[in-house]
């Protein structure tokens, strides 16, 4: 008889336990499930390499250049601290620049004049393409709304060039400068001849990969989305451009190559869909609100549960 009395009590206890568990709000941890984001980055691109072969003219002076990328990122976070992402970016595929050495300059009045200085180049050789980054992400909370993160991955380049030009496609890139060597007073015209030129070749039929390594911080905004700042490096495994340079007046020439390694800083806005999830959760509860402002305040409170 005593056992039969205990059965209803046990049933009520279990019912209360499961009821309490069912009312517990789900986790709104920001790094969970699918995300979509927009990214923008600035790039500080390594100097090209020039090697003299013949002649007394100094090699061109290589310079750092700048690039950029913007894109869309889709990520999936399959564990509390890990996720993967794939992106489609448009931006700088490679860029290089140099200052040319001027040993002499033609003056219409005095003839050839020695200068012996480097002349800054006004523009860099730069090519923009569609790029595809793939990354493995690691993130760890430092506090409630701040995370430290790191990523490693690859960037695939040359996909559309391969489709357009085939596996044997070759791209040619020339960047030169002329110098005035005579003047026609009747027509008020200077006649120029080539002074310097560099001639580079790229295999545009080859799909290549770069290594990506980055570290940074991400901040959870009050409505659940993430603002992420990352800095890192892009490492090329091979030269993207190879060719030669030539000074025509002195017949000095040599080789040059472009590897396109760079340091980057990236700012990203990541939509986590957590606000929509919290909104649906609040809607299902038997809560009443005196205004939309009060209801929104409750949604923001729920977003902090994780």
Say what the pLDDT of residue 250 is.
Answer: 87
Judgement on whether residues 158 and 50 belong to the same structural domain of the protein? yes
Judgement on whether residues 62 and 105 belong to the same structural domain of the protein? yes
Q: Whole domain around residue 288: which residue ranges?
A: 277-306
Judgement on whether residues 225 and 281 belong to the same structural domain of the protein? no
Q: Is 137 left (phi over 0), alpha (psi -120 to 50) or beta?
A: beta
Looking at the domain assignment, is residue 206 inside a domain?
A: yes
- Please state, in angstroms and rounded to a whole number, the distance separating the CA atoms of residues 75 and 197: 45
Judgement on whether residues 282 and 267 belong to the same structural domain of the protein? no
* Residue pair 94/69 in contact by the 8 Å Cβ criterion: no
Residue 68's domain is classified under what CATH number? 2.40.160.20
Give residue 195's pLDDT band: very low, low, confident or very high (50, 70, 90).
confident
Judgement on whether residues 178 and 299 belong to the same structural domain of the protein? no
17 SS3 class: helix
Looking at the domain assignment, is residue 142 inside a domain?
A: yes
What rounded mean pLDDT belongs to the chain? 87
180 pLDDT above the threshold of 90: no
Q: Is the pTM of this model over 0.95?
A: no
Element (H, E) at 10: helix 2-23
Q: Where are the alpha helices (DSSP H) in 49-208?
A: 159-165
* Most confidently predicted of 19-33, 133-147, 165-179: 133-147
pLDDT digits (tens, 9 = 90+) for 277-289: 998 988 888 888 8
Overall domain count for the chain: 2
Say what the pLDDT of residue 16 is.
Answer: 47
Judgement on whether residues 142 and 123 belong to the same structural domain of the protein? yes
pLDDT digits (tens, 9 = 90+) for 251-279: 999 999 999 899 999 999 999 999 999 98
CB atoms within 10 A of CB 117: 10
Judgement on whether residues 164 and 186 belong to the same structural domain of the protein? yes
Task: Look at 263 and 161; give whichever has higher pLDDT.
Answer: 263
Give residue 105's pLDDT band: very low, low, confident or very high (50, 70, 90).
confident
Single out the residue of 131, 132, 49, 48 nearest to residue 95, CA to CA.
Answer: 48
């Amino acid at each position: 008889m005593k056992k039969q009395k205990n059965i209803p009590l046990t049933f009520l206890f279990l019912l209360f336990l499961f009821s309490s568990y069912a009312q517990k709000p789900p986790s709104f941890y920001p790094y969970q499930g699918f995300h979509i984001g927009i990214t923008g980055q600035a790039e500080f691109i390594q100097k090209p390499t020039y090697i003299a072969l013949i002649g007394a003219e100094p090699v061109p002076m290589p310079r750092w250049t700048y690039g950029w990328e913007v894109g869309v990122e889709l990520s999936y976070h399959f564990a509390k601290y890990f996720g993967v992402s794939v992106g489609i970016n448009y931006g700088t595929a490679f860029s290089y620049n140099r200052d040319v050495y001027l040993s002499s300059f033609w003056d219409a009045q005095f003839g050839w004049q020695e200068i012996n200085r480097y002349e800054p180049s006004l523009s860099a050789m730069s090519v923009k393409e569609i790029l595809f980054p793939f990354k493995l992400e690691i993130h760890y909370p430092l506090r409630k709304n701040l995370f430290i993160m790191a990523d490693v991955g690859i960037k695939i380049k040359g996909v559309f060039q391969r489709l357009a030009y085939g596996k044997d496609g070759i791209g040619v890139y020339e960047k030169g400068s002329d110098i005035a060597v005579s003047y026609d007073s009747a027509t008020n015209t200077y006649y120029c001849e080539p002074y310097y030129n560099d001639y580079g070749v790229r295999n545009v039929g080859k799909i290549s990969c770069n290594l990506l390594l980055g570290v940074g911080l991400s901040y959870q905004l009050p409505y659940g989305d993430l603002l992420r700042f990352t800095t890192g490096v892009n490492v090329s495994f091979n030269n993207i451009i190879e060719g030669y340079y030539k000074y025509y007046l002195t017949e000095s020439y040599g080789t040059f190559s472009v590897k396109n390694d760079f340091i980057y800083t990236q700012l990203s806005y990541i939509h986590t869909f957590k606000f929509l999830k919290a909104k649906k959760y609040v809607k299902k509860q038997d809560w009443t609100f005196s205004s939309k402002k009060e209801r929104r305040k409750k949604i923001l409170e729920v977003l902090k549960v994780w």
